[in-house]
Amino acid sequence: MRLSTALVTVLGVVLVCVAGPLAAGDGTLSPELAKQLRASAKLDRAGRALHNALTNNEDLKALALNREIVRSHDDVFSHKIKSKKITNQRASGRCWMFAGLNVYRPAVIEKFNLKDFQFSESFLAFWDKLEKANCFLEDMIEMRDREPFDREMDFLLKDPINDGGYWEYLTALIRKHGVVPRSIMPETALSQNTAVMNSVLERVLRIDAAKLRAMAAEKKSVEELRKAKERMLADIYRILVLNYGEPPVKFTYRFVDKDDKVGEAKEYTPLSFYEQCVGVDLDQFVTLAHDPTHPYNKHYELRRIRNILGTPEFHYVNIPLEDLKTITLKCVLSDETVWFGADVTSDMDRADGIMQVDLFDFGSIYGVDLRQSKADRFLTRGGVPNHAMTLVGVDVRGDKPVKWLVENSWGEERGNKGFWTMYDEWFDEHVYSIIVRRAYVPNKTLKLFKEEPVELPPWAPMFALPQ
């Protein structure tokens, strides 16, 4: 339902009229301005009907849903990659981990002829939390002489630890700690619902940060601070064990293939399991991004964005949108699952699994223009990469992608049994990064990774920790 043309015109006129007094005055919301605004909001019959509809419905999205888009929607794809059971991160921010492991799952399934297979996300989440805690405390030691309201210090203290991450976080964890099957370290009630646990960990780490700063003020040495840090990490480790269980050092496992043939039981370490049973070369993947606020064909690095101390900072090459899509299409048509980071706060219907620009027409309801460029949304934090998923199909017409098939990690109850249809226009507006094998990236782009990166601060929009 749309507001009448007359009402929209009146609103426009009033806003123009009050612009003068606002510019000339002190900028306060004066009684005179409030009176003008009240007069501008007089509703005609259509406006009153809209007011009644809005104030008697809790589901604003249902009223705003663009029925033209829904009617024209279909979930037919010209090319699909074979995929298995949909995973479910539940009430946790581990999308980056689930999406990344969904890239590796097919290697195990194919190698051992399995019906399905799932890695233990709890195992990796345990080590991710402990490594992040160590990074935070080490940052506090390094920055012990900084003012408490230093911007970088403030950034770290606002969010000492959380569930979010990137592909690079996952590969760093696998290189150091390996992987295990889900049955070896299954999910727990708190691994699937992390908010309260995270709040406790944050409190502990902030208390520890204050202790380290107090020790530094007493001129304690770095060696003494690190000894204290080790004691602090013991507390974090115990909390994690109580929530997740203790990660295995060794375990025995055997595969049962899709014909119910039972394999030989073997003993593994988490690292040997990855090497022998997964074996995907972690170094063959690169991060490519579309950030319209920075020059293209440049190498960028975000400072202090890592989950394991001593590993490289989060870095990527920024390329034009069409180049990003060309590489993505090439991968999917070659049956390569593509990890991608996107903003899922806009134009995404969780009931039917549709992702399309203007899917929810709030502008017509309220009589305002909500259009904004991708660059402006990025700069004003109206759109940042806050969720990671994988691409497992595409619908191509005349050599151009029309829509993409998305595998999510929100369970089968959301979307179309866990899958989503992402229209190409939505890709243009809301996709910010992809992870692909080097083999699908032009040499001219790969060479950019060898260039000295342009350093960006940790609060840059590209860093929003997909969750």
User: Given 134, 177, 408, 430, which residue is catalytic?
Assistant: 408
In angstroms, what CA-CA distances link 205 with 133, 253, 402, 459, 465?
A: 7, 36, 47, 20, 19
Asked if 51 is an active-site residue, the reply is no
Query: Side chain identity at 367, as an amino acid letter?
Result: G
Q: Which of 96, 92, 100, 97 is nearest to 123 (CA)?
A: 97
Structure token digits, residue 224: 């003494």
* Pair type for strands 419-423 and 431-437: unpaired
Q: What is the DSSP string of 309-374?
A: TTSPPEEEEE--HHHHHHHHHHHHHTT--EEEEE--SSSEETTTTEE-TTSB-HHHHHT------H
Q: Among residues 177, 290, 315, 387, which one is catalytic?
A: 387
**Residue 17: active-site member:** no
Residue identified by tokens 């992870």 is 435
DSSP summary character for residue 307:
S
30 SS3 class = coil
DSSP bridge pairs for 354: 349, 421
Is there a catalytic annotation at residue 387? yes
Q: Which of 66, 95, 315, 331 is catalytic?
A: 95
Check if the beta carbon of residue 353 is closer than 8 Å to that of residue 359.
Answer: no
Indicate which residues carry an active-site annotation. Answer: 95, 387, 408
